[in-house]
Amino acid sequence: MSAVLLQPVPPSTRQLILNGVFAENPVFRLALSLCPAVAVTTTVLNGLILGIAVLLVQVLSSVTVALARGLIHPRVRIVVYTIIIAVWVSVMDMALSAFVPALYAQVGLYVKLIVAFAIIISRLEMFASKYPLVPSFWDGFGMGLGFLLALVVIGALRELLGNGSLAGVRLTAGKPLLFFALPAGGFFSIAFLMAFFNWVERRMARGRRKPAAGGTHA
Amino acid sequence: MKSRDEVLRITASVTLACAAGAAILGATYVGTERYRQAAQLAAERGAIVELLNLGAGAEVTEVRQWLDPGLPGRPGTSAVRYELRPLGDATAPARTLAFSLDGAPVPVAAAPEQGPRPALEPLGRLFVARVRDSVAGFVVEGLARGYKNRIRFLIGITPGFEIAGVRVVEHEEDPGLGAEVATHLFESQFLGRTADQVAGLGVTRDPMPEDWHAALLRLERTPAPEWRAREHALLERERARPIYAVTGATISSRALTDGVRATVDHFRRRWSLIAPQFERGGGS
Amino acid sequence: MRDPRSRSARPRIAPAVRRAPFARPARWLAVALLLALAPALARAAGEPPLIRSTRIEKPGRIVLVLSRPLPRTDPANFRFTEAAAPDLPIAVREVHVTPLGERVTLVVGQGLDPAGHYRLEVAEPPLRLDLKPSPWALLFTVILSSALINNFVFTRYLGLCIFFGVSRKRETALGMGATFAFVMVTTGMLSWLLFEFVLKPLQLRFLQVLVFIGVVAFLVQMLDTVLKKTQSALHEKFGIYLVLITTNCIILAVPLLNAAADSGPLESFALAMGSGAGFALALFLMSCARERVELARVPPSLQGLPIAFALAGLVALAFMGFSGLSLFR
């Protein structure tokens, strides 16, 4: 992260997207904005709709901040960022309630709460306020995509295990593990997925470090 | 001097941001509100058409029920008002009927006597569908206090006062448990029961018989009239029995059943009051 | 104070002096209590009312406790309705009267909800009674429900970032819980005022997100400044949490939920209060469990957040047992 900030030249588009999806995945790696990750992920579609909303809010806010960089007084930048996010969140809220009312009914509260997502404001502060339009766009896109994918993965896991269906299409006759659809199941799904990510990372780190000196990954 | 300049600039920048934000939001609101209302209306009409198995060409009248608390300190002046309007046409002039609490018709435009009158309290909505000038069925909106929060549902009722279907439209029950009352499997248990049977309807924790369960699952793939003809014997047997509760969610099941019972009862009594007036007024 | 002799010479005064800062809140509390009880006291002083108390019993019975017998006790003397359907009387089947007439039981033909709102009209003497749970019971129900049944953390999954961030130590968890509860109540009430008297009349509901987050930011900032200037000791302890609060979904959720449900002032207050208490409880429980886990052997991949999530899942499972909890069932 700090390496990114010190570079005068913005990182490449590919790097930015991969960063958001894997290296700094907001849910699994940074453990930010977890609330919706548990709350709305009982089905794939719910995860998808909220993921799209977050992606759009992140991209729109990043672009707005990148464009208005010169105009924002540094003393009140956090306040202005918050206003920008709140505006785009409200726009998204109204648009979703108008065009996909059935899905919106299930995720409504959490769409409004996007405004309090630490991940969005931290990207504005760390990236969009320092870089021009195009890299800011891709950074926002990468982060939003990482969030969206995380929600869809958790949603798919929970819907498949808890309800025996995927995106509303029934795959098994009964309900294999109802537990995963229950509130508590969301916490456990995330625990297992996070542990899996950690495990993969440890395996990869060990593989990489074998030739060099040993030592555990911090 | 410099600090005052700074304060001014900060104030200006925040004010500008707020104003721009509010302007964007206002524009979006104006732009999307129409679509939101249209979508809501389409969903409502879709639910009505599906519950009552209506074809095209059915005209639906929305009846909003209000309690007029009457003049303060004079309980005798309170009344129930019924506002009749074609569904989806909020600008159309409403026909209003009013009845005193004892069921006697009262003039609607009672001249406002002294003092301000308290606001009307909403008493729920119902929809009357008509095909070629005869009533094709009713849909009544009801509320029940569920396991966690309120459950909002629609009940389709045929002109012969039989349940044509129940649809839960809003609930916050636990997914996998109480939320199962919002599935076809549970909702269609009400199908085909008469209003008299519903008045004594209860809930049992017994497991649902296999053949009935299989028949209800078949209903999801078959049109209701055809299904009713084919499963006649089974339907006849089950109509006399209570509703089978969702496993692990007896309270939610009971809440919805109680809600349906009360709503059907209220509707039947109110309809007997307004039906003659409704017929006389025609489709206005 | 440090001199042992002076302490032994005035053993009773020293604690009193030390307790002085708490005397003022205690006095305020007493005044508030007195105000709350005033109507009841005033009623007790006057003539005893005809109907002392009413109660709804589960399978369709209404019990009236009277101060003197009713002149007429036939079923036709009573008209009983739901408050939400005053035009549809519920038939009173039987009336049972105790020999002295001080207790009348009405039996109706259908099940009644003890938490419901009903209306009883008596023809002779003309009387109208509203039968509903007392506002205190309602307040308590909402608090109970938002703290336990709909706990923000375990069933609505709000405030998880903060929840996992500060639940590592019991002490910080308690400080954080208290600060959150306080900020939730103040922002909840201020937002309610703004929503009810500005946004709703002007039809500006679509600005609610912008306005509510503004309220939270403003209040937190103000609280921070006021605390720093007046109670620097308190600020040193809680100031650090205040900074974390500004953009937090759990604070924002209270006004949003209130706005969505169109709640009244009492319900809004109860929701804010209950959610705050629920969050503090969740933080406390979690910190206790996590302090234990520190000592346990956890597989390396599960260390840190994953095991915390699994723990939260277990507590959430336990909290499921609260749903359906009600004062009236």
Kindly report the average pLDDT of chain B as a whole number: 83
| Neighbouring residues of A59: CB distance < 8 A, sequence distance ≥ 6 | A137, A140, A141, A144
What whole-number distance in Å separates Cα of residue C291 and Cα of residue C168? Answer: 7
Residues C129 and C117: their CA atoms lie apart, in Å, by 11
CB contact under 8 A, C313 and A79: no
A44 interfacial to chain B (CB closer than 8 Å): no
Q: At what angle do helices A77-99 and C208-230 cross, to 10 degrees?
A: 150
A122: left (phi over 0), alpha (psi -120 to 50) or beta: alpha
CB contact under 8 A, B78 and C86: yes
How far apart are the CA of B51 and the nearest CA of chain A, in angstroms? 18
**Is there a contact between A143 and A85 (Cβ–Cβ < 8 Å)?**
no
| Pairwise CA distance, residues C257 & C259, whole Å | 5
Cβ-contact A42, A184 below 8 angstroms:
no
ipTM: 0.76
The number of residues making up chain A comes to 218
Tell me phi and psi for residue B219, to 5 degrees: -60, -30
Chain A CB contacts of C183 below 8 Å = none
pLDDT at C9: 44
Mutate to test the interface with B, among C58, C82, C88, C148 (most CBs of B within 10 A): C88
> Which chain A residues are Cβ-neighbours of C213 within 8 angstroms?
82, 86, 115-116
Q: CB C207 to CB B75 under 8 A?
A: no
The answer to whether the Cα torsion of C51, C56, C62, C63 is positive or negative is negative
* Preceding omega of C125 cis (within 30 degrees of 0): yes
The two tokens of residue C91 are 């038939």
Please give the pLDDT value at position C4: 46
Cβ contact A76–B175 (<8 Å): no
In this complex, the residue of A87, A108, A187 whose CB is nearest that of residue C310 is A187
Question: Token pair for residue A139?
Answer: 């950074």
Report B:228-267 residues touching C (Cβ under 8 A). 251, 258, 265-266
**Which of these, A10, A2, A28, A210, lies nearest to A119 by C-alpha position?**
A28
Residue showing tokens 């990207």? A123
Using an 8 Å CB-CB cutoff, list chain C residues near A75: none
Query: Does any CB of chain A come closer than 8 Å to the CB of residue B172?
Result: no
Residue A216 distance to chain C (closest CA, Å): 11
Mutate to test the interface with B, among A75, A78, A180 (most CBs of B within 10 A): A75
Name the neighbours of C, counting chains with at least 3 Cβ pairs within 8 A: A, B
C147 secondary structure, DSSP code: I
Full pLDDT tens readout for chain C, 329 residues: 444 444 444 444 444 444 445 556 667 777 777 777 666 655 555 566 777 788 888 778 888 888 888 888 888 888 888 887 888 888 888 888 888 878 888 888 777 877 778 888 888 788 888 888 777 887 888 888 888 888 888 887 887 877 887 777 788 788 888 888 888 899 999 999 999 998 888 888 888 888 888 888 888 888 888 888 887 777 777 766 776 676 677 888 888 888 888 888 888 999 999 999 999 899 888 888 888 888 888 888 888 888 888 888 898 888 887 766 666 54
- Render each residue's pLDDT in chain A as its tens digit; 218 residues: 444 444 446 677 777 777 777 777 777 766 666 777 777 777 888 888 888 998 999 999 999 888 887 777 777 788 888 888 899 999 999 999 888 888 888 787 788 888 887 778 888 888 888 888 888 888 888 888 888 888 888 888 888 887 777 776 777 666 677 778 777 888 888 888 888 888 888 888 887 665 544 333 33
Distance between start and end Cα atoms, chain C? 56
Chains that touch B (3 or more CB pairs under 8 A): A, C
Cβ of B15 under 8 Å from any chain A Cβ? Answer: no
From chain B residues 42-61, the ones with a CB under 8 A of any chain A CB are: 43
Cβ distance A162 to B28 less than 8 Å, yes or no, reads no
- Cβ of C314: how many Cβ atoms within 10 Å? 14
Cβ neighbours for C25, distance < 8 A, ≥ 6 positions apart:
none
Q: Using CA atoms, how far apart are residues A17 and C146, in angstroms rounded to an integer? A: 40
Query: Is the CA virtual torsion B217, B220, B226, B232 positive or negative?
Result: positive
Show the tokens assigned to A28: 């699994």
Q: Across the strands, what pairs with C81?
A: C119
Residues of C in contact with B67 (CB under 8 A): 86-87
Instruction: Count CA atoms closer than 13 A to B187's CA, side-chain side.
Output: 19
Among residues C206, C213, C225, which one has the least CA distance to residue C251?
C213
Q: Residue B99 and residue C320: Cβ atoms within 8 Å?
A: no
Q: Which chains touch A (3 or more CB pairs under 8 A)?
A: B, C
A25, A28, A38: which to substitute to probe chain C, counting the most C Cβ within 10 Å?
A38
Strand partners, C95: C106
Burial class from Cβ neighbours inside 10 Å (0-12, 13-18, 19+) for residue B276 reads: exposed
* CA-based nearest distance A190→chain C, Å: 7
CB B144 within 8 A of CB B130: no
